[in-house]
Amino acid sequence: MNPDGITAAVGESRPRVEGRRKVTGSAHYVADVPVPDLAHGWMVTATVSRGRIRDIDATDTLAQPGVLGVLDHRNARRLNPDAGSYFGPDRSLSLLQDEVIAYAGRPIALVVAETPEQARAAAAMLRVAYDAEPHDIEFSMNHPAVRPASTLFGPEADTGDLEAELAASTVVVDEVYRTPEENHSAMEPHVATAWWEDGHLHALDSNQGPFTISQVMASLFFIDRDRVHIRAEHVGGGFGGKTICGAQIILAAMAAEHFERPVRVALTRRQVFLATGSRPPTEQRVRIGADAGGRLRAIHHHAAFALSPLSEYIEWCTEQARTLYAAPAIRTELSAVPLDILPPCSMRGPGAAPGSFAFESAVDEVAERLRIDPLRLRLLNQPVVAPVSGRPFSTRRLVTCLQEGARRFGWAQRDPRPRVRREGNLLVGTGVAAVAFMAGAFPASATITAEADGTFSVRIGACDIGTGARTALIAVAADALGVGTEQIHLYIGDSDIGPNPGAGGSRGTTSCAFAITETAKALREKLADADLPVTASVDTTPLINWQPGEERYTYSAVFAEVTVDPATGEVRVRRLLGMFAVGRVINPLLARSQLIGGMIGGLSMALHEEEVRDPVTGRLVTADFAGYHISAHADVPDIEADFVADYEPQDPSGFNGLGEIGNAGTAAAIANAVWHATGTRHRDLPISLGRVIEAAAAQDRPEAVSVA
């Protein structure tokens, strides 16, 4: 009960308010919304990885039925080359501006016709001639072009005397780990419908933050942000791939202006792979030194990732090394390698997911070499304060996650030796990994009106990309106003509502809940002496503490049990348990569902997902779900996520975000379990059939038996 005697909605499991509409088809996604006089654009993408367009011959295309025209660099309007994102100017957004091609998949033309079928057929007849130049897509942390990554997220760590501590260590693990280029693969492909009216741009767009996208579009098109109106009512997943301003909305807006009609650009699955960002490949060297008793003395994590020269980006793999364990010396380094590839962007626990795979594998290797239980090693090295900054943690329930997870998982019965547990032909193993994910809140604004009929209209520019944000925020608003959820009308997904960070960085719901809570407070003060309706608005920008005295993270311990068939190379995850400390949970049903989804993403990363480029052409050869494997239902027989009691003191309601932490620790737990099953340490993801078979064959050769 809250102070007004109404049952609190926060903390209660409730199904998504729009769930029924989604499963019955009446919730409209962008491509479902009818727009009169709509024309359709078909995106044409470059087939060379580097070079120039010599000529585009549209003669046949223009002769096809229904074709309105072709937009390319010769007739497209000028865009602002300085427009960009959080990371700075992003030249990948300046579409159709010149003949230069910086990656295969770069959109180079838009064919516009009366129907999508006509546009597609006509686009197939567009003749593009290229002057190809040699490309470089070969990623390695030793690439000659390697350079320090941007320090926009803060400086890397360097505490203590690393080399001295390594020299004084009883064991030193020094290994290199690799993760491939990956694609977000949201269920709903990117799609936008745009039209212009009296100098105002209107668009329906599948994205993760209508307000932030409206800022980028305003900058790109040299107009005031107030003249850009973007809506994203329902979005079929994002995973980071819809945080950036997508080619679909840029091209739709350009074409709508040019042809003076509403234009829709809907990407195919292949185009999503080719043209909408990816997680960059990483290569990571981890050195960890420990004494005989398992105390860590030195941690060195050097991570490198690929990016495009068109835009800055940070795959922040080094967060775990500075957060999870105490050690007298900790050094992190982050390097970027510019290549002729699709510009990467944030994906499902950016940095943390590949970073924790490398780092928590290395920690496991320390336990292996010291013959110490890997859970015990982790518990033994827990820091009292943040190991690098020396600041306290605002809340840190990682030990509880590890211990409670171990109890439920049955860790105490585990034989620590690898390759000893067999069931028929199968090798069985278990593994654990810990993970921390940076938490916080971004500025947001909310407006609440107390209506004359006793209901409350809550307006916030949040974006529900399938997480249940809408449902969660209704509960937050109801509690903050001291009313039942049925009295709340929530309006989201519209850039006109006001500044909002969108759904990203695991901070969407936390940021919006903060704004709603503060607005409700302001409204209740006004309500006392006013006639209805009464409205209050709050922007939390001045309320955000950017320099808190304490470090703020969410935590998780993930436990995995796998079976490995050494003959077929097949790894099956049999059990997966995640214990999470994510602050006060708003809606356990939806939070659990989101965390399980994240864990499945981690499983998919561990075993399946890999983008492959043809070295000769530089093109993706896995640009569909036949070539790019992601986990299906049958891959996860038994998966469980649960919470430990937690409260975030930096948030007025005790909340923290949980969008990405489900993903982040899972791949390491699975890789550690595969080692336990087989005795082979897989340091390259994914742990594919081929890699497992090769390792099994190597183990059968006498000279290689010393692996375990």
Catalytic residues: 660
Alpha helices in 12-79 (DSSP H): 19-24, 59-62
At 607, list the tokens: 């075993």
The phi and psi torsions of 448 (rounded to 5 degrees) equal: -125, 135
Closest to ligand MOS by CB, 279 or 681 = 279
282-290 and 51-57 as β-strands: parallel, antiparallel, unpaired? unpaired
Q: Please, what is the Cα angle at 665 between 313 and 601, to 5 degrees?
A: 75
Cβ 697 to ligand MOS, closest distance in Å?
A: 37
Closest to ligand MOS by CB, 348 or 691 = 348
Question: At 440, which amino acid appears?
Answer: G
Residue number with the shortest CB distance to ligand MOS? Answer: 240
Q: What's the rounded Cα separation, in Å, for the pair 64 and 67? A: 6
Closest to ligand MOS by CB, 464 or 660 = 660
With the C-alpha atoms ordered 254, 255, 260, 261, is the resulting torsion angle positive or negative? negative
Closest to ligand MOS by CB, 493 or 504 = 504
Q: What's the rounded Cα separation, in Å, for the pair 682 and 692? A: 8
Q: How many residues does the chain have?
A: 708
Question: b/e string for 597-617 if b means 16 or more Cβ within 10 A?
Answer: bbbbbbbbbbbbbbbebeeee
Cβ 206 to ligand MOS, closest distance in Å?
A: 13
Q: Helix or strand or coil: residue 113?
A: strand
Q: Which helix (H) or strand (E) element contains residue 111?
A: strand 107-113
Closest to ligand MOS by CB, 107 or 350 = 350
Chain residues in the site for ligand MOS (CB under 6 A) = 208, 238-240, 243, 346-348, 350, 504-505, 660
Cβ 199 to ligand MOS, closest distance in Å?
A: 32
Cβ 441 to ligand MOS, closest distance in Å?
A: 14
Cβ 184 to ligand MOS, closest distance in Å?
A: 8
Cβ 468 to ligand MOS, closest distance in Å?
A: 15
CA distances from 548 to 393, 544, 657, 696 (A): 10, 9, 17, 50
Q: Which of 504, 493, 440, 505 is nearest to 462 (CA)?
A: 493
Are residues 336 and 149 in contact, defined by beta-carbon separation less than 8 angstroms? yes
Residues 6 or more apart from 154 whose CB is under 8 A from it?
Answer: none
Cβ 75 to ligand MOS, closest distance in Å?
A: 35
Closest to ligand MOS by CB, 165 or 660 = 660
Question: Tokens 């060297």 map to which residue?
Answer: 285
Distance of CA 72 to the CA centre of its chain: 31
Closest to ligand MOS by CB, 71 or 664 = 664
Q: Helix or strand or coil: residue 378?
A: helix
